[in-house]
Structure 1
Protein backbone atom coordinates (compact mmCIF):
# COMPACT_ATOMS: atom_id res chain seq x y z
CA UNK A 1 0.00 0.00 0.00
CA UNK A 2 1.27 3.48 -0.91
CA UNK A 3 0.12 5.30 2.22
CA UNK A 4 1.36 8.65 0.88
CA UNK A 5 -1.67 8.88 -1.41
CA UNK A 6 -3.94 8.98 1.63
CA UNK A 7 -2.14 11.75 3.50
CA UNK A 8 -3.39 15.27 4.16
CA UNK A 9 -0.16 16.91 5.38
CA UNK A 10 -1.29 19.48 7.90
CA UNK A 11 0.11 22.65 9.47
CA UNK A 12 -2.46 24.75 11.32
CA UNK A 13 -0.50 26.14 14.26
CA UNK A 14 -1.33 29.85 14.70
CA UNK A 15 2.39 30.67 14.92
CA UNK A 16 3.26 28.95 11.64
CA UNK A 17 5.50 31.13 9.50
CA UNK A 18 5.82 31.43 5.74
CA UNK A 19 9.03 29.40 6.03
CA UNK A 20 7.08 26.64 7.78
CA UNK A 21 4.52 26.57 4.96
CA UNK A 22 7.29 26.44 2.34
CA UNK A 23 8.81 23.46 4.17
CA UNK A 24 5.40 21.78 4.44
CA UNK A 25 4.78 22.06 0.71
CA UNK A 26 8.28 20.85 -0.09
CA UNK A 27 7.77 17.77 2.07
CA UNK A 28 4.38 17.11 0.50
CA UNK A 29 5.89 17.25 -2.99
CA UNK A 30 8.87 15.12 -1.98
CA UNK A 31 6.66 12.40 -0.52
CA UNK A 32 3.83 12.67 -3.08
CA UNK A 33 1.22 13.28 -0.38
CA UNK A 34 -2.37 13.72 -1.49
CA UNK A 35 -2.82 17.21 -0.06
CA UNK A 36 -1.56 19.91 2.25
CA UNK A 37 -3.96 21.43 4.76
CA UNK A 38 -3.34 25.05 5.81
CA UNK A 39 -5.11 28.03 7.30
CA UNK A 40 -6.86 30.18 4.73
CA UNK A 41 -4.29 32.99 4.98
CA UNK A 42 -1.68 30.65 3.49
CA UNK A 43 -3.73 29.17 0.63
CA UNK A 44 -2.34 31.57 -1.98
CA UNK A 45 1.25 30.80 -0.95
CA UNK A 46 0.61 27.06 -1.03
CA UNK A 47 -1.00 27.41 -4.45
CA UNK A 48 2.10 29.14 -5.76
CA UNK A 49 4.42 26.53 -4.25
CA UNK A 50 2.43 23.54 -5.49
CA UNK A 51 1.65 24.75 -8.98
CA UNK A 52 2.23 22.04 -11.62
CA UNK A 53 2.12 19.27 -9.01
CA UNK A 54 -0.61 16.77 -8.14
CA UNK A 55 -0.70 17.86 -4.48
CA UNK A 56 -4.09 19.32 -3.56
CA UNK A 57 -4.61 22.32 -1.30
CA UNK A 58 -7.08 22.07 1.54
CA UNK A 59 -8.11 25.06 3.66
CA UNK A 60 -9.79 24.98 7.05
CA UNK A 61 -12.66 27.38 7.77
CA UNK A 62 -14.50 28.17 10.96
CA UNK A 63 -11.40 26.84 12.62
CA UNK A 64 -10.83 25.50 15.19
CA UNK A 65 -14.03 26.17 17.18
CA UNK A 66 -16.76 26.09 14.53
CA UNK A 67 -18.96 28.49 16.48
CA UNK A 68 -18.77 31.55 14.25
CA UNK A 69 -21.71 32.74 12.13
CA UNK A 70 -22.58 30.69 9.08
CA UNK A 71 -22.17 33.76 6.86
CA UNK A 72 -18.58 34.08 8.08
CA UNK A 73 -17.87 30.47 7.19
CA UNK A 74 -19.40 30.95 3.74
CA UNK A 75 -17.27 34.03 3.08
CA UNK A 76 -14.08 32.34 4.27
CA UNK A 77 -14.77 29.28 2.12
CA UNK A 78 -15.38 31.40 -0.98
CA UNK A 79 -12.22 33.40 -0.36
CA UNK A 80 -10.11 30.27 0.17
CA UNK A 81 -11.38 28.78 -3.08
CA UNK A 82 -10.70 32.05 -4.88
CA UNK A 83 -7.14 31.93 -3.54
CA UNK A 84 -6.66 28.39 -4.87
CA UNK A 85 -8.07 25.88 -2.38
CA UNK A 86 -9.14 22.57 -3.88
CA UNK A 87 -10.97 21.40 -0.76
CA UNK A 88 -12.53 22.89 2.35
CA UNK A 89 -12.55 21.49 5.91
CA UNK A 90 -15.17 23.15 8.12
CA UNK A 91 -15.74 22.62 11.83
CA UNK A 92 -19.29 21.71 12.78
CA UNK A 93 -21.11 24.02 15.21
CA UNK A 94 -20.81 21.89 18.34
CA UNK A 95 -23.02 24.20 20.42
CA UNK A 96 -25.90 23.89 17.95
CA UNK A 97 -25.48 20.12 17.91
CA UNK A 98 -25.47 19.81 21.69
CA UNK A 99 -28.50 22.12 21.85
CA UNK A 100 -30.26 19.67 19.51
CA UNK A 101 -30.74 22.56 17.12
CA UNK A 102 -30.31 20.22 14.19
CA UNK A 103 -31.91 22.55 11.67
CA UNK A 104 -29.20 25.14 12.30
CA UNK A 105 -26.45 22.49 12.11
CA UNK A 106 -27.79 21.39 8.74
CA UNK A 107 -28.09 24.96 7.47
CA UNK A 108 -24.56 25.79 8.62
CA UNK A 109 -23.13 22.90 6.60
CA UNK A 110 -25.45 23.23 3.61
CA UNK A 111 -24.80 26.95 3.12
CA UNK A 112 -21.06 26.33 2.96
CA UNK A 113 -21.51 23.35 0.65
CA UNK A 114 -23.69 25.35 -1.74
CA UNK A 115 -21.16 28.19 -1.82
CA UNK A 116 -18.35 25.84 -2.85
CA UNK A 117 -19.61 24.62 -6.20
CA UNK A 118 -18.09 21.23 -6.97
CA UNK A 119 -15.22 21.47 -4.48
CA UNK A 120 -15.10 18.66 -1.86
CA UNK A 121 -16.23 19.52 1.67
CA UNK A 122 -15.02 17.79 4.82
CA UNK A 123 -17.03 18.34 8.01
CA UNK A 124 -14.96 18.18 11.20
CA UNK A 125 -16.93 16.61 14.07
CA UNK A 126 -14.45 16.99 16.97
CA UNK A 127 -15.29 13.50 18.25
CA UNK A 128 -13.63 13.96 21.65
CA UNK A 129 -16.35 16.50 22.52
CA UNK A 130 -19.26 14.26 21.46
CA UNK A 131 -20.90 11.14 22.83
CA UNK A 132 -21.83 8.21 20.59
CA UNK A 133 -25.37 9.42 19.92
CA UNK A 134 -24.13 12.91 19.04
CA UNK A 135 -21.56 11.46 16.64
CA UNK A 136 -24.25 9.40 14.94
CA UNK A 137 -26.58 12.42 14.70
CA UNK A 138 -23.83 14.58 13.23
CA UNK A 139 -23.19 11.86 10.65
CA UNK A 140 -26.88 11.72 9.77
CA UNK A 141 -27.00 15.50 9.31
CA UNK A 142 -23.87 15.31 7.16
CA UNK A 143 -25.60 12.73 4.99
CA UNK A 144 -28.55 15.11 4.55
CA UNK A 145 -26.12 17.92 3.67
CA UNK A 146 -24.44 15.78 1.01
CA UNK A 147 -20.92 16.43 2.29
CA UNK A 148 -17.98 14.56 0.80
CA UNK A 149 -16.04 13.62 3.94
CA UNK A 150 -16.45 13.42 7.68
CA UNK A 151 -13.25 14.32 9.53
CA UNK A 152 -12.79 13.20 13.11
CA UNK A 153 -10.89 16.07 14.71
CA UNK A 154 -9.41 19.53 14.33
CA UNK A 155 -6.31 18.48 16.25
CA UNK A 156 -6.98 21.27 18.75
CA UNK A 157 -9.17 19.36 21.22
CA UNK A 158 -8.53 16.77 23.91
CA UNK A 159 -7.95 13.87 21.52
CA UNK A 160 -8.51 12.77 17.95
CA UNK A 161 -9.43 9.72 15.96
CA UNK A 162 -9.87 6.27 17.44
CA UNK A 163 -10.55 3.06 15.57
CA UNK A 164 -13.78 2.65 17.55
CA UNK A 165 -15.08 6.09 16.58
CA UNK A 166 -14.20 5.57 12.92
CA UNK A 167 -16.11 2.27 12.94
CA UNK A 168 -19.17 4.08 14.38
CA UNK A 169 -18.95 6.72 11.66
CA UNK A 170 -18.46 4.09 8.95
CA UNK A 171 -21.47 2.08 10.16
CA UNK A 172 -23.62 5.23 10.00
CA UNK A 173 -22.55 6.71 6.67
CA UNK A 174 -21.62 3.42 4.93
CA UNK A 175 -20.14 4.31 1.54
CA UNK A 176 -22.15 7.50 1.03
CA UNK A 177 -19.55 9.72 2.73
CA UNK A 178 -15.81 9.19 2.92
CA UNK A 179 -13.92 9.44 6.20
CA UNK A 180 -10.79 11.41 7.07
CA UNK A 181 -9.11 10.22 10.27
CA UNK A 182 -7.40 13.07 12.10
CA UNK A 183 -5.69 13.56 15.42
CA UNK A 184 -2.73 11.71 16.90
CA UNK A 185 -1.78 9.73 13.78
CA UNK A 186 1.97 10.14 13.47
CA UNK A 187 3.33 7.01 11.77
CA UNK A 188 2.71 4.73 8.80
CA UNK A 189 1.66 1.76 10.95
CA UNK A 190 -1.14 3.70 12.64
CA UNK A 191 -2.27 5.35 9.41
CA UNK A 192 -2.45 1.97 7.71
CA UNK A 193 -4.73 0.60 10.45
CA UNK A 194 -7.23 3.37 9.67
CA UNK A 195 -7.05 2.79 5.93
CA UNK A 196 -7.62 -0.92 6.51
CA UNK A 197 -10.97 -0.23 8.22
CA UNK A 198 -12.23 2.02 5.44
CA UNK A 199 -10.73 5.49 5.88
CA UNK A 200 -10.11 7.36 2.63
CA UNK A 201 -7.79 10.07 3.99
CA UNK A 202 -5.50 10.51 6.99
CA UNK A 203 -4.67 13.98 8.27
CA UNK A 204 -1.31 14.19 9.96
CA UNK A 205 1.39 16.70 10.81
CA UNK A 206 5.10 17.26 10.34
CA UNK A 207 5.71 14.61 13.02
CA UNK A 208 4.55 11.95 10.55
CA UNK A 209 7.36 9.59 9.59
CA UNK A 210 7.37 7.89 6.20
CA UNK A 211 10.23 6.06 4.54
CA UNK A 212 10.52 7.61 1.12
CA UNK A 213 13.44 8.40 -1.10
CA UNK A 214 14.42 12.06 -1.25
Structure 2
Protein backbone atom coordinates (compact mmCIF):
# COMPACT_ATOMS: atom_id res chain seq x y z
CA UNK A 1 0.00 0.00 0.00
CA UNK A 2 2.56 2.56 -1.09
CA UNK A 3 1.15 5.94 -2.06
CA UNK A 4 2.19 8.53 -4.63
CA UNK A 5 3.86 10.71 -2.01
CA UNK A 6 6.16 7.86 -1.02
CA UNK A 7 7.07 7.27 -4.64
CA UNK A 8 7.88 10.92 -5.33
CA UNK A 9 9.70 11.59 -2.09
CA UNK A 10 7.12 14.13 -0.90
CA UNK A 11 7.43 13.67 2.83
CA UNK A 12 4.79 16.26 3.70
CA UNK A 13 1.97 14.19 2.23
CA UNK A 14 2.93 11.24 4.44
CA UNK A 15 2.99 13.04 7.78
CA UNK A 16 0.47 12.89 10.61
CA UNK A 17 1.32 16.17 12.37
CA UNK A 18 1.12 15.13 15.99
CA UNK A 19 0.38 16.99 19.22
CA UNK A 20 -0.32 14.47 21.98
CA UNK A 21 1.40 15.86 25.08
CA UNK A 22 -1.11 16.23 27.91
CA UNK A 23 -0.30 19.90 28.50
CA UNK A 24 -1.04 20.94 24.91
CA UNK A 25 -3.12 24.11 24.82
CA UNK A 26 -5.93 24.85 22.40
CA UNK A 27 -3.72 27.54 20.86
CA UNK A 28 -0.97 24.99 20.26
CA UNK A 29 -3.44 22.59 18.66
CA UNK A 30 -4.73 25.39 16.44
CA UNK A 31 -1.16 26.16 15.36
CA UNK A 32 -0.65 22.50 14.41
CA UNK A 33 -3.81 22.62 12.30
CA UNK A 34 -2.64 25.73 10.48
CA UNK A 35 0.83 24.24 9.93
CA UNK A 36 -0.71 21.06 8.55
CA UNK A 37 -2.79 22.99 6.02
CA UNK A 38 0.12 25.22 5.03
CA UNK A 39 2.50 22.28 4.51
CA UNK A 40 0.11 19.74 3.04
CA UNK A 41 0.36 17.17 5.82
CA UNK A 42 -1.88 14.10 5.77
CA UNK A 43 -3.54 14.74 9.12
CA UNK A 44 -3.38 16.36 12.52
CA UNK A 45 -3.22 13.70 15.26
CA UNK A 46 -4.59 14.66 18.69
CA UNK A 47 -6.09 13.34 21.89
CA UNK A 48 -9.85 12.98 22.02
CA UNK A 49 -10.50 16.23 23.89
CA UNK A 50 -9.32 18.20 20.86
CA UNK A 51 -11.01 16.23 18.08
CA UNK A 52 -14.13 18.37 17.61
CA UNK A 53 -12.02 21.54 17.60
CA UNK A 54 -9.57 20.10 15.07
CA UNK A 55 -12.34 18.78 12.81
CA UNK A 56 -13.97 22.22 12.77
CA UNK A 57 -10.70 24.05 12.11
CA UNK A 58 -9.73 21.68 9.28
CA UNK A 59 -13.16 21.68 7.66
CA UNK A 60 -12.93 22.43 3.95
CA UNK A 61 -9.25 21.42 3.76
CA UNK A 62 -7.77 18.10 2.56
CA UNK A 63 -6.08 17.55 5.95
CA UNK A 64 -7.70 14.78 7.99
CA UNK A 65 -8.52 14.72 11.69
CA UNK A 66 -6.73 11.82 13.41
CA UNK A 67 -7.49 10.74 16.98
CA UNK A 68 -5.72 8.31 19.29
CA UNK A 69 -7.69 5.85 21.41
CA UNK A 70 -6.80 3.52 24.24
CA UNK A 71 -3.78 5.78 24.41
CA UNK A 72 -1.00 5.35 25.39
CA UNK A 73 -1.23 2.05 27.29
CA UNK A 74 -3.76 0.01 25.33
CA UNK A 75 -5.04 -1.47 28.58
CA UNK A 76 -8.48 0.12 28.90
CA UNK A 77 -10.37 -2.93 27.65
CA UNK A 78 -12.14 -3.72 24.40
CA UNK A 79 -15.52 -2.35 25.45
CA UNK A 80 -14.05 0.96 26.54
CA UNK A 81 -12.09 1.23 23.30
CA UNK A 82 -15.19 0.53 21.24
CA UNK A 83 -17.15 3.23 23.08
CA UNK A 84 -14.25 5.64 22.64
CA UNK A 85 -14.11 4.87 18.91
CA UNK A 86 -17.82 5.64 18.53
CA UNK A 87 -17.45 8.90 20.44
CA UNK A 88 -14.39 9.98 18.42
CA UNK A 89 -16.23 9.33 15.16
CA UNK A 90 -19.15 11.40 16.43
CA UNK A 91 -16.70 14.21 17.28
CA UNK A 92 -15.46 14.26 13.69
CA UNK A 93 -12.44 11.94 13.56
CA UNK A 94 -11.50 10.72 10.09
CA UNK A 95 -8.76 8.38 11.31
CA UNK A 96 -8.31 6.42 14.54
CA UNK A 97 -4.98 5.27 15.97
CA UNK A 98 -5.67 2.57 18.57
CA UNK A 99 -3.19 0.97 20.96
CA UNK A 100 -3.62 -2.79 20.99
CA UNK A 101 -3.79 -4.89 24.17
CA UNK A 102 -0.04 -5.14 24.70
CA UNK A 103 -0.25 -7.34 27.77
CA UNK A 104 -2.46 -9.88 25.99
CA UNK A 105 -0.05 -9.98 23.06
CA UNK A 106 3.00 -10.49 25.28
CA UNK A 107 1.36 -13.36 27.13
CA UNK A 108 0.32 -15.00 23.87
CA UNK A 109 -3.45 -14.57 24.23
CA UNK A 110 -4.00 -13.89 20.54
CA UNK A 111 -7.75 -14.42 20.75
CA UNK A 112 -7.96 -11.48 23.16
CA UNK A 113 -5.73 -9.39 20.92
CA UNK A 114 -7.94 -10.19 17.93
CA UNK A 115 -11.16 -9.41 19.81
CA UNK A 116 -9.71 -6.09 21.02
CA UNK A 117 -8.89 -5.00 17.47
CA UNK A 118 -12.06 -6.39 15.93
CA UNK A 119 -14.44 -4.55 18.24
CA UNK A 120 -12.74 -1.24 17.45
CA UNK A 121 -12.78 -2.03 13.74
CA UNK A 122 -16.53 -2.57 13.96
CA UNK A 123 -17.11 0.54 16.06
CA UNK A 124 -15.03 2.82 13.86
CA UNK A 125 -17.77 3.19 11.24
CA UNK A 126 -15.47 2.77 8.27
CA UNK A 127 -12.91 5.35 9.37
CA UNK A 128 -9.24 4.68 8.69
CA UNK A 129 -7.98 2.48 11.52
CA UNK A 130 -4.32 2.27 12.53
CA UNK A 131 -3.22 -0.29 15.12
CA UNK A 132 -0.34 0.81 17.35
CA UNK A 133 1.85 -2.14 18.34
CA UNK A 134 4.34 -0.42 20.71
CA UNK A 135 7.13 -2.44 19.13
CA UNK A 136 9.77 -1.50 21.72
CA UNK A 137 7.94 -3.81 24.15
CA UNK A 138 7.66 -6.74 21.72
CA UNK A 139 9.90 -9.37 20.18
CA UNK A 140 9.90 -10.14 16.47
CA UNK A 141 7.42 -13.02 16.76
CA UNK A 142 4.99 -10.80 18.66
CA UNK A 143 5.32 -8.02 16.08
CA UNK A 144 4.60 -10.48 13.28
CA UNK A 145 1.59 -11.93 15.13
CA UNK A 146 0.13 -8.48 15.79
CA UNK A 147 0.59 -7.41 12.17
CA UNK A 148 -1.12 -10.55 10.90
CA UNK A 149 -4.08 -10.10 13.23
CA UNK A 150 -4.43 -6.44 12.29
CA UNK A 151 -4.57 -7.41 8.63
CA UNK A 152 -7.10 -10.15 9.36
CA UNK A 153 -9.53 -7.82 11.14
CA UNK A 154 -9.34 -5.22 8.38
CA UNK A 155 -7.14 -2.53 9.89
CA UNK A 156 -5.87 0.01 7.38
CA UNK A 157 -2.42 0.49 8.94
CA UNK A 158 -0.12 -1.04 11.50
CA UNK A 159 1.87 1.54 13.46
CA UNK A 160 5.11 1.17 15.39
CA UNK A 161 4.81 3.26 18.52
CA UNK A 162 3.01 5.72 20.75
CA UNK A 163 6.11 7.79 21.45
CA UNK A 164 5.36 7.46 25.17
CA UNK A 165 7.15 4.17 25.94
CA UNK A 166 10.79 3.07 26.01
CA UNK A 167 11.52 3.48 22.31
CA UNK A 168 10.20 4.55 18.95
CA UNK A 169 10.38 3.52 15.32
CA UNK A 170 13.37 1.93 13.60
CA UNK A 171 13.89 1.02 9.95
CA UNK A 172 14.44 -2.62 10.84
CA UNK A 173 11.10 -2.90 12.61
CA UNK A 174 9.31 -1.00 9.84
CA UNK A 175 10.81 -3.41 7.30
CA UNK A 176 9.62 -6.40 9.36
CA UNK A 177 6.12 -4.97 9.57
CA UNK A 178 6.02 -4.27 5.82
CA UNK A 179 7.31 -7.76 5.04
CA UNK A 180 4.58 -9.23 7.23
CA UNK A 181 1.59 -7.28 5.89
CA UNK A 182 2.75 -7.05 2.29
CA UNK A 183 1.29 -4.24 0.21
CA UNK A 184 -2.30 -4.74 1.33
CA UNK A 185 -2.27 -2.30 4.25
CA UNK A 186 -0.23 0.66 5.37
CA UNK A 187 2.69 0.90 7.78
CA UNK A 188 3.02 3.99 9.96
CA UNK A 189 6.35 4.78 11.58
CA UNK A 190 6.16 6.99 14.65
CA UNK A 191 8.21 7.78 17.72
CA UNK A 192 11.50 9.67 17.67
CA UNK A 193 11.38 10.76 14.01
CA UNK A 194 12.78 14.29 14.07
CA UNK A 195 14.76 14.74 10.84
CA UNK A 196 14.15 14.42 7.12
CA UNK A 197 16.85 11.75 6.97
CA UNK A 198 15.11 9.67 9.62
CA UNK A 199 11.77 10.05 7.86
CA UNK A 200 13.24 9.01 4.52
CA UNK A 201 14.85 5.97 6.15
CA UNK A 202 11.42 4.89 7.38
CA UNK A 203 9.90 5.36 3.92
CA UNK A 204 12.75 3.38 2.36
CA UNK A 205 12.06 0.58 4.85
CA UNK A 206 8.40 0.44 3.85
CA UNK A 207 6.49 3.11 5.77
CA UNK A 208 3.83 5.06 3.91
CA UNK A 209 2.78 7.23 6.83
CA UNK A 210 4.97 9.06 9.35
CA UNK A 211 3.89 10.26 12.77
CA UNK A 212 5.91 13.25 13.96
CA UNK A 213 5.70 16.37 16.08
CA UNK A 214 8.79 17.88 14.41
CA UNK A 215 6.97 17.83 11.07
CA UNK A 216 7.65 21.44 10.06
CA UNK A 217 11.39 21.03 10.65
CA UNK A 218 11.36 17.73 8.74
CA UNK A 219 9.76 19.14 5.61
CA UNK A 220 11.83 22.32 5.83
CA UNK A 221 15.03 20.27 5.83
CA UNK A 222 13.71 18.14 2.97
CA UNK A 223 13.01 21.23 0.87
CA UNK A 224 16.44 22.66 1.63
CA UNK A 225 18.08 19.39 0.55
CA UNK A 226 16.07 19.28 -2.67
CA UNK A 227 16.98 22.90 -3.46
CA UNK A 228 20.64 22.07 -2.97
CA UNK A 229 20.36 19.14 -5.36
CA UNK A 230 21.13 16.51 -2.71
CA UNK A 231 19.19 13.66 -1.10
Q: TM-score, normalised by structure 1?
A: 0.96
Q: CA RMSD in A?
A: 1.4
Residue in 1 that maps onto 2:53: 45
Higher helix proportion (structure 1 or 2) = 2
Within the alignment, does 1:199 sit opposite 2:217 as a pair?
Answer: no
Output the CA distance in 2 between the equivalents of 1:134 and 1:189. 28
4+ residue runs over 6 A deviation: none
Q: Report the equivalent of 2:3.
A: none
Matched, 1:65 2:81: no
Q: 2:96 is paired with a residue of what secondary structure?
A: strand
The 1-side partners of 2:33 and 2:12 are apart by 14
Say if 1:186 and 1:208, in contact at 8 Å, map to a contact too: no
Unaligned runs of 5+ in 1: none
Residue by residue, what CA displacement relative to the aligned partner does 1:87-143 show, whole Å, maximum 9, x if unpaired?
A: 000001011111211111100000000111221100000000001111111111112
CA spacing shift, 1:207–1:195, aligned 2, 3 Å:
closer
Going from structure 1 to structure 2, the CA distance change for 1:149 and 1:207 (only over 3 Å counts) comes to closer
- Per the alignment, residue 141 of structure 1 pairs with 149
Aligned to 1:26: 34
Report SS of the residue matched to 1:107. helix
The 1:134/1:208 distance shift into structure 2, 3 A limit, reads farther
Partner residue, 1:151: 159
Give the paired residue count.
213
Which stretches in structure 2 are left out of the alignment for 5+ residues? Answer: 1-8, 225-231
Q: Could you tell me which residue of structure 2 aligns to residue 13 of structure 1?
A: 21
**TM, length-normalised to structure 2:** 0.89
Q: Matches of 2:216 and 2:111 in 1, distance apart? A: 38
